[in-house]
Structure 1
Amino acid sequence: MRAVWLTEFGGPDVLVGGAAPEPVAGPGQVLVDVAFANITFVETQFRSGAPSPFKADLPVIPGNGVGGVVAAVGEGVDGSLLGTRVVTGMGGSGGYAERAVVDAAGLFAVPEGLGLDDAVALLADGRTATMMLRAAAPRTGERVLVEAAAGGVGTLLVQLAKAAGATVVAAAGGERKLELARELGADEVVDYGRPGWTDSVRAVDVVFDGVGGEIGRAAFDLLAKGGRMVSFGLASGEWAGIPEEKAAERGVTLVQPKPDPVLMREYTESALREAAAGRLRPVIGQRFPLERASDAHAAIETRATVGKTLLEVRS
């Protein structure tokens, strides 16, 4: 089968297409004919050799989230799953390939009315956005600042916070990204690529920090007493690193959601349901064929992307 291999850590060009052995479903597993694979910023970190949650020995087929159709089932798996549209995570390896073997218990059925590509786009980012929103619990009338508002998680947070009744301030870099945030319902937009960007933003009650670094620290300074800050990404390359003592002095809570497996599954299912009902729209900003996984990684790293980036494995 076709696959993309990582044989050494480095820049995007270390991702190389090639052949791989056909996987076979074992007990408790299913074989999925993969249609789409998602790409996350964490995967670009793993490829580069930077610290990441994913661990694997090289050579490896990278990739975590996939979506497709169940083509075969292993021993002990319900045969009615055959032909079902599903999305699932793979633990960080094996996703950039035509077929994947995964544990049946980790599957998510794609609801009727939801495209398989949209479901894949929601697999990681929908779970994260739902977890962040519930942890910070913005209330009607509160002001919420969403950093990286044109990214995969950020676009969903803009919509979820707006649906919760909050006034949404979307922070992103460049007019293209700000316009997308407006289309998704942001009440105010601000370009954090400009010096003194916080000067035009009134105090906020919640900060969703997807950038970290100087931008995350500047956003923290915008929080009013009783505010909450939850960090979900470090697009800058570092966390905001706000000391607990400094937050306490300001009367601000640094919210740290705990990734409970049962809750994480419910967050994913919630995002899929909301999208199927038309209340949540994943933004798929760019698509690349499987063989161009290196180009997809390069686009993400140069901040040239909006929303979610998908690999199209088969049509």
Structure 2
Amino acid sequence: MRAVRVREFGGPEVLEVVELARPEAGVGEVVVGVEAAEVLFLDTQLRSGWGREYFALEPPFVPGAGVAGVVRSVGAGVDADWVGKRVIAGTGGVGTYNGGGYAEQAAVPATEVFAVPDGVELGVALAALHDGSTALAQLERGGAVPGERALVTAAAGSLGSWLIPWLSATGTTVVAAARGEAKLQRAKELGAHEVVDYSQTDWADGLEVDVVFDGTGGAIGRAAYGITRAGGRFLGYGAASGDFTAPAEARDDVTLVGIFQPDPGEWQELTRRALDHLAQHRIAPTVGQTFPLSEATAAHAAIEARRTVGKTLLLP
């Protein structure tokens, strides 16, 4: 089968298309015929060599943390009824990165496999795996209520297409921060009440918010932390700038909520809930761009150049 492999740490050009043996389902595993593989910003970071203190990766390795497709086979200890079902699946458990998603077939833990409801496209369903579950968790932890102002950074990204509509529906005033007119327009279409362009140095001037959902980190995250009102909450879950938010000075009057590390059972329940929202048409996540598997290099380059909107998928 074809797969995309990181031959060495470096830029997008280190991704190469290779032929590998088809995987076999081991004990407690299923093999998925991949119809779509998600491309995360984390993939681009790990490909470059970032995060080696957190993830034990050494080239060559096949990246990819999530896939959508049809179950082809199951290993010992797995219900044979999974065969033929449309599913989304994580390639590893919570807090791990096993890779393996950028391929025509992937062997995944059966505990990370979720049936896709009828009527939901596989590519759209894949947005529930990491984005939908993370958004649900952040919304519950953030506790935004009607009348409050919430700032969403990286607003045109894949999490933004979940967070903005849900926050808006609660009666929260949503301030969306993104880079460039096209992304700001997308945030408005999602339901943002106000938009700010954080490519402008004065983007935060005059802003005050009650809760921040920060998917950007770095200097933008620090600025967002600074405009959080006393008694507010700051949720830092992303590092699209290259690193997580590290406030220059901690504030006693703001609750700082770090990276969410749920137990496996909780994570599975969040994913099922996200899929149910899709099935009930309560949310319409943005799949902004797709690339053939052979063009994984272009997909990574587009993400790193901040040219993408919403979810990015590879189609084997």
Q: Same fold (TM over 0.5)?
A: yes
Q: Which amino acid aligns with 2:19?
A: A
Structure 1: runs of 5 or more not aligned = none
Structure 1 equivalent of residue 283 of structure 2: 280
Structure 2 equivalent of residue 196 of structure 1: 202
Shift of 1:165: 2.2
The 1:145/1:33 distance shift into structure 2, 3 A limit, reads: same
Secondary structure at 2:210's aligned position in 1? strand
Q: Distance in 1 between matches of 2:65 and 2:24?
A: 18
After TM superposition, list the pairs within 5 Å mapping 1:174-253 onto structure 2.
174-201=180-207, 203-242=208-247, 246-248=250-252, 251-253=253-255
After TM superposition, list the pairs within 5 Å mapping 1:268-307 onto structure 2.
268-307=271-310
Per-residue deviation, residues 167-224 of structure 1 (Å, max 9, x unmatched):
10001011100000000001111111112111253x2110011111221111112111
Q: Which amino acid aligns with 2:256?
A: L
Structure 2 equivalent of residue 39 of structure 1: 39
Secondary structure at 2:234's aligned position in 1? strand
Q: CA RMSD in A?
A: 1.4
Q: Which amino acid aligns with 2:230?
A: K
Count, aligned residues: 309
Q: Distance in 1 between matches of 2:10 and 2:313?
A: 21
Structure 1 equivalent of residue 120 of structure 2: 114
Secondary structure at 1:247's aligned position in 2? coil
TM-score (norm 1): 0.94
Secondary structure at 1:176's aligned position in 2? helix
Q: Which amino acid aligns with 1:304?
A: R
Q: Distance in 2 between matches of 1:127 and 1:78?
A: 25
Q: Which amino acid aligns with 2:10?
A: G
Structure 2 equivalent of residue 168 of structure 1: 174
Q: Distance in 2 between matches of 1:106 and 1:136?
A: 26
Contact 1:63 1:94 in 2 (8 A): yes
Q: Which amino acid aligns with 1:21?
A: A
Counterpart pick for 2:157 among 145, 151, 156 = 151
Contact 2:237 2:244 in 1 (8 A): no
Q: Distance in 2 between matches of 1:236 and 1:84?
A: 38
Structure 1 equivalent of residue 264 of structure 2: 261
Shift of 1:122: 2.3
Secondary structure at 1:117's aligned position in 2? helix
Identity %: 51
Counterpart pick for 1:101 among 107, 124, 143 = 107
Q: Which amino acid aligns with 2:264?
A: P
Secondary structure at 1:130's aligned position in 2? helix
Contact 2:3 2:62 in 1 (8 A): yes
Contact 1:121 1:310 in 2 (8 A): no
Q: Which amino acid aligns with 2:140?
A: R
Q: More deviation in 78-87 or 52-61? A: 52-61
Structure 1 equivalent of residue 67 of structure 2: 66
TM-score (norm 2): 0.94
